[in-house]
Structure 1
Amino acid sequence: MDHGKDDAAQQAASALIAELRHWREVAGVSQKALAKLVGYTPSYISKIESGSLIPSREFVESADEHLRTGNALLRRWKALRDAGAENRGERHQGSISGDDPQAAPGNSLIVEHEKAELAFRDGMFKTCIRRHLQNAGNEPVTQYLIRIAVDRYPGDPERSNRLYREFPLTWEEIGLSAVCQGEPMTWRAKHDRDAFKEVWLLFENGDERFPLYPGQSTWIEYVYTVSADKWGPWWTRAIRLPTKRLSMTLDFPAEMQPSVWGIETSMTAEASPFKTPINRANSSDRVIFSWSADSPPLHARYRIEWKFKNEIAREVDAMKTLAPSERMQSLGIAQEGETVLYEVSRRFDLPTEAEDARRVVSQLVSTMERVAQAHTFAKGMGVAAPQIGISRAVAVVRTPDGETITLINPRIIDESTEMDEQYEGCLSFFDVRGMVPRPVCIEVEHQDVDGNTHITMFDGPISRLVNHEIDHLFGQLYRAKMRPGVEPIPVSQYKGTGQPWTQGRT
């Protein structure tokens, strides 16, 4: 048996799976939604992404069309077909039109240091990425793939997609330029989408070629700009190559009173604040934020989000005229009466749908940050996927101490006989507060993205927060849990705002 050829087939299959997941993520399309578009079952797509089924050419071509990939999936499918044919002792005759030459294998390049800088001036965001690359492989590297993606409204993909369909990101406004050790690099577009670009940076220019040979290292730098009306309040660095050090710097006008925070997600889909603080340095007219991490794990994503407090002040002034529920609606929270709030959310098939779970968790955390900027939650808070219009079984809870709890496919399997009755609020009808009896302690069965099942006990106020969010995943609002004859009171009559719950028992 030729293990080298088996490995080639396996690598080709993994590349196709990764490509499909990537384009679904770019389009903000779940497995179920894609299945509806292409006329296949969600189970069929689930099996493809788990590696247990090789897709048909018809599926691949249809997915390419609906996800607008520029035939990226078909190229991966042809590579897989050819690898499989060679393993059977056959050989495909002829070349494949449109195939992109590949850079050195991913594990051949090592990023010694990535220094990423983002600056905001005169309504434009300028990104400068410097990477110190080392070729640890056996072949010279002649090109390097980079990605440029924008999302004006994180957590609301439909709204972003509408914006970029009408006003697509253009090469002219990006103004991409790149250098290697001071030498200009030619570049060539691989994918050109409304909100997403992939570009090959070539180790050459009109005067010479300068490949990165085995054992050599070099600095490359690329710069591009995007206007503020197309760039959302976030910036993500994804670790796609072995990286020894990542540095991120943000340069904002001091007059805009910037406030920033960091969110880290990984292969486990757990979303958590940065493990180390973001440093802040003030000058007369600029504020510089900096953060770094050593040996970040592959596939980790580091996301910095921000608010400009002068904008917040204007938003707060504008919101003063809105009812509390209208404020939440303006932040993307589904409101009472919307169908999605009364549906039983669909569970994730894990680990097959791990990427979907990660994407929804990221949207929940982003929404939570925006809501927390608009209202103080002394009792803690939570957001369930149906509240952002996604009928999937996942919720995120933040405790009064700032701990973030991610609940995937949760269900309550046991609860105490002791009960506690307290006022609750709900982002989906925030004009009122309701007195809700709940168990003092609950046991919750939930999963991680690898499909492992966990049982966690929650008690006290945290139990109430978790119970409230799990109810959302089963189509229940807290009104259904109130005692007969008891009605919510207007928030203007509620006296507990800004205070923690005082535990009582009945």
Structure 2
Amino acid sequence: MTSSPIDRAADTFAAELAQWRVDRAMTKKQLAARMGFDPSYISHVEGRRHRPTEDFARRAEAVLGAGGAIWQRFQEYDDLRASRTVTPARDAAVAEQWQVPGTGLIVEQETAVLSYRDGFYHCAIRRALYNAGTEPVTRYPVRIAVDRYPDDPQRSNRHHHDHPLTFAELDLDAACGGTGHLEPMLWRAKHDRDAAKEVWLLFENSQGRFPLYPGQRTTIEYTYRVGQEKWGQWFQRAVRLPTRRLTVRLDFPTTLDPQVWGVETSLSAEDAPLRTPLRRQDVDGRTALEWSTEVPPLNARYRLEWRFRRGPRDPEDTGTPGCGGAAVATGPVADSGRLRALGIVQRGAAILRQPARPFDLPSDEAIALDTIARLRTVLARLDQLHPFSKGLGLAAPQIGLPWAAAVVRPPDPGLGPVVLLNPRVVAAARETDQQYEGCLSFFDVRGSVPRPLRIDVEHTGLAGGRMITSFDRAMARLVAHEIDHLEGRLYVDRMPPGAALVPVEEYGGSGHPWIYLGLNPVSGHTSPKLS
């Protein structure tokens, strides 16, 4: 028997409720106590034996802090149950009912626009606010932060220490009100740091005060500007209040040929590509890019990044360091931002300096297989960017996984990838050579690194057996690079004292394999471990 749309909507609500309860690590009894219901009622709703009520949905939303997800599922069910669609009048009421009364401010719509003109980034933020609380709101917090070199925190900190952001250069201006009439807003500094400013936008001006009372709405607008020498090529929006809709727009000169991508993070997930693509439009010499999301979860962060293929470049900028496997690319440039968007952790992340966790095989076989599959997926996505002429390696910590696993692809495309679980170098040749290496985690530079010409690596099979594989020349370098990652080490740690990184623009070896004489550079021989 086919279920009705109302039944399916009720099922969806129950599934959403159960998922949020599990995510919050709460039992049915604990949730019921917090909501003021009998535990059996929670069981009946999740078991589809009772239909949800408005009061139940409101309390569940408030207790579980679902960012509006539970309430939205109830709205869908309630619309069908009442056999009516949302009219404009009811749509306005929905905004008031979307969050439980007494929870404070709600952002019904945020539109953030960043424009680049004449060496300055101009930012304009517009937020439609609704006071769902029980007290009047007299001020609104705003944070403005810059990060010139986001993939190199130490360099960025030095830069902003020498060139601090100032309130004077921001030229901050704010206003609030309805359509056709905006009242200027005064503002007061809250925190003043080299790379960040926090202010209170005040619901007052020289004409008096105009608090936002419970049940009232208003729209605030504020603008500021930052020079390109301090801003950096990124724009991030953080969801700090319950928000129904977020829209971000970028506006660049078309002549700069902007290449834009985006990532999102949350409390439960590392950087991941935006779930939907940006919309692009070129009009009158300007390139506009727009991205939107509905009911974003609290504490989510959405970050748009870009590079200009043509146009001015910071003379001090020698590339944005990041992190990843040993690799050198030919074809389109694979900058750190695009690699981050693929899920590759960048330099500065703590996981890159932590020893990886070994697998207990065969008990951890399922985890090992999943880790290998995820590494292969990222490698396949890298192939869509460009080929790698010197081979390619990727270790699990580079995609945010703590396990001791790596996949290495030889320079010869005719040879299959090598999978290494719990690898460690047990012997190394005395003969070494020094070659330039790259790393997907700081891909915009190259460094000259000495490595043994041959290494013996002990590693574990899925069934738990140990084996030793010998690697020569190029494969020895690639494998050693990945084992370093699993030990919390980067190739810069092995560079000779005083050696400098070379910007990829100045490196002349892209597209050319490492040069060795007399021995197959991709050979590898495996034998069982002898005790």
Residue pairs, 1:125-204, within 5 angstroms = 125-181=121-177, 182-204=182-204
Report how far residue 170 of structure 1 moved: 1.2
Q: Following the alignment from structure 1 to structure 2, what is the Cα–Cα distance between the partners of residues 386 and 465?
A: 22
Q: How many angstroms does 1:262 deviate by? A: 0.2
Within the candidate set 318, 334, 337, 1:372 is matched to 334
How far apart, CA to CA, are the structure 2 residues paired with 1:112 and 1:195? 29
Deviations 1:419-451 (A, max 9, x none): xxxx996436468998888899977xxxxxxxx
Q: Which amino acid aligns with 1:400?
A: A
Q: SS at the partner of 1:248?
A: strand
Preserved contact between residue 146 and residue 232 of structure 2 (Cα < 8 Å) = yes
Q: One-letter code of the match for 1:373?
A: D
- The residue type paired with residue 334 of structure 2 is A
Alpha-carbon distance in 2 for matches of 1:376, 1:217: 40
Shift of 1:107: 3.6
Q: Counterpart in 2 of 1:257?
A: 257
8 Å contact kept, 2:323–2:344: no
For 1:182-261, list aligned pairs within 5 A.
182-261=182-261
1:386-465 → structure 2 map (5 Å cutoff): 391-392=353-354, 398-402=378-382, 406-412=399-405, 415=421, 426-427=438-439, 429=447
Q: Does 1:472 align with 2:465?
A: no
Residue 494 (1) aligns with residue 513 (2):
yes
- Change beyond 3 A, Cα 1:400–1:180: same
After TM superposition, give the deviation of residue 171 of structure 1 in Å.
1.3
Amino acid at match of 2:270: E
Aligned AA for 1:161?
A: N
Shift of the alpha carbon at 1:146?
Answer: 0.6
- The structure with the greater share of residues assigned to helix is 1
Residue of structure 2 equivalent to 1:267: 267
Match of 2:112 in 1: 116
Structure 2 residue corresponding to 1:331, chosen from 301, 319, 323 = 319
Letter in 2 for 1:217: R
Letter in 2 for 1:135: N
CA contact (8 A) 1:133 1:218 kept: yes
What amino acid is aligned across from residue 513 of structure 2 in structure 1? Y
C-alpha distance in 1, partners of 2:286/2:523? 46
Provide the C-alpha distance between the structure 2 equivalents of 1:230 and 1:303, rounded to a whole number of angstroms: 17
Rounded Cα–Cα distance in structure 2 between residues aligned with 1:438 and 1:111 = 56
Q: Report which of the two structures shows the higher radius of gyration computed on alpha carbons.
A: 2
> Are the aligned partners of 2:152 and 2:347 in contact in 1 as well (CA < 8 Å)?
no
2:284 maps to 284
Give the drift of 1:279: 0.8
Q: Do the aligned residues in 2 keep the contact of 1:410 with 1:470 (CA within 8 Å)?
A: no
Q: Answer yes or no: is the 8 Å Cα contact 2:352–2:488 preserved in 1.
A: no
- Over aligned residue pairs, what C-alpha RMSD do you find? 4.8
Q: Deviations over 1:284-341 (max 9, x none)?
A: 31000000011111111100000000149x89xx9xxxxxxxxxx94355xxxxxxxx
In structure 1, stretches of 5+ residues that fail to align are 1-104, 319-328, 334-362, 418-422, 444-463, 479-489, 497-501
Q: Judging changes above 3 Å, is the alpha-carbon distance between structure 1 residues 371 and 239 closer, same or farther for their aligned structure 2 residues?
A: farther
Q: Which amino acid aligns with 1:244?
A: R
Q: Distance in 2 between matches of 1:271 and 1:376?
A: 12
Percent identity at matched positions? 45
Gaps of 5+ in 2: 1-100, 358-373, 384-395, 407-419, 424-434, 440-445, 463-476, 492-508, 516-521, 527-531
Paired residue secondary structure (1:296): coil
Residue pairs, 1:300-339, within 5 angstroms? 300-311=300-311, 330-331=318-319, 333=321
Pairs aligned (count): 320
Q: What amino acid maps onto 1:197 in structure 2? A: K
- How far 1:164 sits from its partner (Å)? 1.8
Q: Which amino acid aligns with 2:335?
A: Q
Change beyond 3 A, Cα 1:307–1:176:
same
TM-score by length of 1: 0.53
- Name 2:495's counterpart in structure 1: none
Shift of 1:132: 0.7
Over 3 Å counting, the alpha-carbon distance change for 1:492 and 1:465 in structure 2 is closer
Structure 1 residues 463-489: Cα deviation after superposition (integer angstroms, max 9, x where no partner):
x999954532415679xxxxxxxxxxx
Which letter maps to 1:144?
A: Y
Amino acid in structure 1 at the alignment position of 2:296? P
Q: Which amino acid aligns with 1:331?
A: G
Q: Which amino acid aligns with 1:410?
A: W
Residues 440 and 291 of structure 1, relative CA distance in 2, 3 Å threshold: farther
**Partner SS state of residue 409, structure 1:** coil
Shift of 1:159: 1.6
The answer (yes or no) to whether the contact 1:189–1:198 under 8 Å persists in 2 is yes
